[in-house]
Amino acid sequence: MKRILYYSLFFLLICNGMLVAQTINGKIINKQNQPVDGVAVILQTLDSVYVDATISDSLGLFKFGRPANQACRLLFQHLLYEPTQKEISADDAGIIMLNDKDYALAEVTVKADHPQVKVEGGKLSYDIPQLMKDKTIINAFEVIKQLPGITGTGDEIQLAGAGSLHIILNGQLTTMSLDQLIRLLKTIPASRVQKAEIMYAAPAKYNIKGAVINVILDKNMSDTPSFQGEAGIDYEQRHYAGSNAHINILYSKSNLNIDFLLNGAKGRNFAGEDILARHTLNNGVTQVEQTGRSTHHANEGISRLGIDYTFKNKDKLSAAFYLNADKSSNKRNSNTIFSPLEEKTSTTNLSNSESDNHSTLHNIHIQYDGHKEVKAGVDFTHYKSPSDLHFLDLSDNGSKTDMLNYTNQNISRWSAFANHTVSAGKEWSLNYGINAGYTYSKNHLEYSYDDGNGYELDLESLENNIQKDYTANIFAEVSKSFGQHFSATVGLKGEYYKSDYIKNTKKTNLWNDWTLFPTAALSYMFSPFHILQLNVSSDKTFPSYMTLSPQSTPLNSYSESVGNPALKPYNSYEGQLLYIFRQKYVLMLFCQYMPDYFTQLPFQSDTELKNVFRYENLNYNFQVGLNLIVPFKVGSFWNGRVLLQGYRMQEKSDHFHGMSFNRNTYVGIASTSNTFKLSSKPDLKLDIDATYVAPGAIQGIYDLGRLYNITAGVKWTFAKQKGALSLHANDIFRTSIPTASINQGNQWSRLNKLNDERCIRISFSWKFGGFKAKKHESVNTSRFGK
């Protein structure tokens, strides 16, 4: 077996040496120093004999699958630019600048709609400056929320027709969770986003699985040194006020880029819920009425320093340091009335909890990108989150609970990867690589109770646990073009995952297995107006570290949150069939199956009068449905888009606290995004967006009611696009959170959450030094925190 492996590696090295060669390449820009895509590039000999042809991509780059063995000529042609030519004798054609063409003929102006989406090797590619030029958005996260197919309210986003969603920056490995990355994206100005790529089946070279959005920032490479930036401040008024300030600075020259980001935020949020429940216990039923209110204060700071250096041979070395620190406190008060239905008496409990939380996250990322398609990098993340909780519960029957809880989570994560791509012209390519990681998570939990003699430590509940995770991934992926119509990318990743759990010096093994993850992206272009795409992908989702800890956190007199050490990860298998018409309209059929799917659900205990929230594994979650995306334009005044989605979802559990369920339902979603051009001078834009989700969605034993969300914003751009002032109103009618009810077996409750999503935001930003954009990387913290 070892001999076969050695021969295989030797064969790959020989093939690599034969296939990797210098090729004719270059970059095309306009007078505004912007890349120009769709330029026809024709290769000729000096005596005008045709040799080959290609088209520049969205970054203005072009490449021929052959070297310049002798002097030759390049011809450049584009509808909007004057044709030009250049004679070369080396592989690097350098930068070619095109002059604008005057296409106004006898008072007749030629106009055409810019394509909404392009299909590039299985990716749905969006030109962000073109797509968002009339929007009132202010940061990179709002850019993502405006992409066709993205739904959700607040900070919750999902890709229609896909399960778990990942976000990466500039196609690089990331160890930041989606929540953590959203914080960073909110600090990046929208003007810095150049392109976004949506992939329902992420290529294996990205070292992630499932659906992904690749956000590409403008690197603003310049032959002469430049210093640019943008500063801004936001004011938000919800129930309480909040503020945010940021500054982004970019220094660049031909071979060096240094970018610095600093953001500070301060504010407080209001939350609450009203619960009505009927709890069956010992053949009796108790009605529970509860009112809870809380206030959350938070201060947060984010900073990032990134350096990119490009060598003379086009190799690039990148390094970045990221810091996120926050300090928060939470105060919660609840009033709970317990009324046994068989009795005429009731008991009232008043509970109060106060918590202080601190967290810091450091991330260091180093990556090397070779000009021969070799990529390698290392990533280190350290996360620390100590917290204190004081819980006091008083009952009018004389009982009392006075508890102190101290929790500390300390996580260190290392990751390293190496990828290599071997290609033969534009026909096919082979990408293979490895990714390995190690995570050390240490959790400390302790509880102290005051029974009238001062606080005493409860030794039985003292918890010190350590979780060690070992991962190794190896993959191979082949991409092949069959003529001008059909292209395919097929990959297979093998992942080994081992997790050891040490509780109070006792060691157990949580997981130790191999999993194979196949992916495929097939595209067939009948014509540029008719494109068919099929995606197949698979993924695995692991629970957070604190979720596996047997910690019990009281929420009020009736409810508590409990960890589940028996929780298992779940796999997901997805498929999407897309039909894209005129590079605008998208019709999709999708299917998703997730065995052992887990989610947080409440259950009314059969041993005490407690409502317990815990993550639970189900048998499976299954969804199948249709999506339709329709952009439209009414003159130059109104630019809009409509998304319609309908799907059937089913969830089954054979063992849920003494009961079972097999539930299915149909869900409908409609959303629209609209931009109105109010005026050119002054430059005023109006955005109105709306989303409606029909009642009927389920989550385990939950039944969710309807929700709808209407937002609006006005943006004034002035001083030659340097200054921007915007007013934005979110969740105007305060209807973005649905009601949740349970009526399964002996479980019955109704939950109404108070909504603090409605807000008015005033934002001001100013660009200095001819600011342009660049994107950053992220740190995966999806399994950190509570």
In a domain, 270, yes or no: yes
In a domain, 113, yes or no: no
- Residues 666-690 have pLDDT tens digits of 999 999 999 999 998 898 999 999 9
In a domain, 518, yes or no: yes
Query: Which CATH number characterizes residue 47's domain?
Result: 2.60.40.10
In a domain, 339, yes or no: yes
How many angstroms separate the CA atoms of 542 and 223, rounded? Answer: 46
Q: Are 191 and 773 in contact (CB under 8 A)?
A: yes
Is residue 185 classed as helix, strand or coil in its secondary structure? helix
One-letter amino acid for residue 330 of the chain:
N
Could you tell me the pLDDT band of residue 779, with boundaries at 50, 70 and 90? low
pLDDT at 729 over 70: yes
What was the pLDDT predicted at 361?
Answer: 93
In a domain, 694, yes or no: yes
Last residue of a domain, one of 73, 100, 127: 100
What was the pLDDT predicted at 438?
Answer: 95
What was the pLDDT predicted at 446?
Answer: 94
Give the pLDDT mean for 382-411. 95
Other Cβ atoms closer than 10 A to 312: 7
3-state SS, 478-505, equals EEEEECCCEEEEEEEEEEEEEEEEEECC
Q: Which residues contact 413 (CB under 8 A, 6 or more apart)?
A: 175, 379, 380, 381, 382, 383, 437, 438, 439, 440, 780
Last residue of a domain, one of 74, 100, 126: 100
- Residues 13-58 have pLDDT tens digits of 334 443 334 688 899 998 878 888 888 898 888 877 777 888 888 7
| Together in a domain, 236 and 93 | no
| Together in a domain, 734 and 589 | yes
Give the pLDDT mean for 496-521. 91
Could you tell me the pLDDT band of residue 535, with boundaries at 50, 70 and 90? very high
- Residues 54-109 have pLDDT tens digits of 888 878 888 887 787 788 889 988 878 888 999 888 888 889 999 887 654 444 44
**127 vs 449, more confident:** 449
Residue 60 structural domain: 23-100
3-state SS, 19-61, equals HCCCCCEEEEECCCCCECCCCEEEEEECCCCEEEEEECCCCCE
Is residue 189 classed as helix, strand or coil in its secondary structure? strand
What was the pLDDT predicted at 254?
Answer: 79
| Together in a domain, 527 and 667 | yes
Query: Which CATH number characterizes residue 448's domain?
Result: 2.40.170.20
What was the pLDDT predicted at 176?
Answer: 63
Is residue 89 classed as helix, strand or coil in its secondary structure? coil
CA-nearest of 361, 347, 464, 261 to 783 is: 361
In a domain, 41, yes or no: yes
Q: Evaluate the omega torsion of the peptide bond into residue 518 and state whether it is cis, within 30 degrees of 0.
A: no
How many angstroms separate the CA atoms of 166 and 308, rounded? Answer: 24
Q: Are 580 and 533 in contact (CB under 8 A)?
A: yes
pLDDT at 592 over 80: yes
In a domain, 139, yes or no: no
Last residue of a domain, one of 58, 84, 100: 100
Any idea what the Cα angle at residue 608 is, between residues 603 and 611, rounded to 5°? 30
CA-nearest of 771, 783, 656 to 252 is: 771
How many angstroms separate the CA atoms of 274 and 320, rounded? Answer: 45
What was the pLDDT predicted at 8?
Answer: 41
- Residues 633-648 have pLDDT tens digits of 898 889 899 999 999 9
In a domain, 294, yes or no: yes
Q: Are 495 and 473 in contact (CB under 8 A)?
A: yes
The backbone region for 583, taken as left when phi is positive above 0, alpha when psi lies in -120 to 50, beta otherwise, is left
Q: How many domains does the chain have?
A: 2
Edge-to-edge order in the sheet of strand 72-78: 50-55, 40-45, 72-78, 81-88
What was the pLDDT predicted at 220?
Answer: 59
What was the pLDDT predicted at 13?
Answer: 37
What was the pLDDT predicted at 403?
Answer: 96
Structure tokens at 327: 């300090």
Q: What average pLDDT does the structure give for the chain?
A: 86
Could you tell me the pLDDT band of residue 495, with boundaries at 50, 70 and 90? very high
What was the pLDDT predicted at 354?
Answer: 97
**211 vs 243, more confident:** 243
Edge-to-edge order in the sheet of strand 61-63: 61-63, 25-29, 92-97
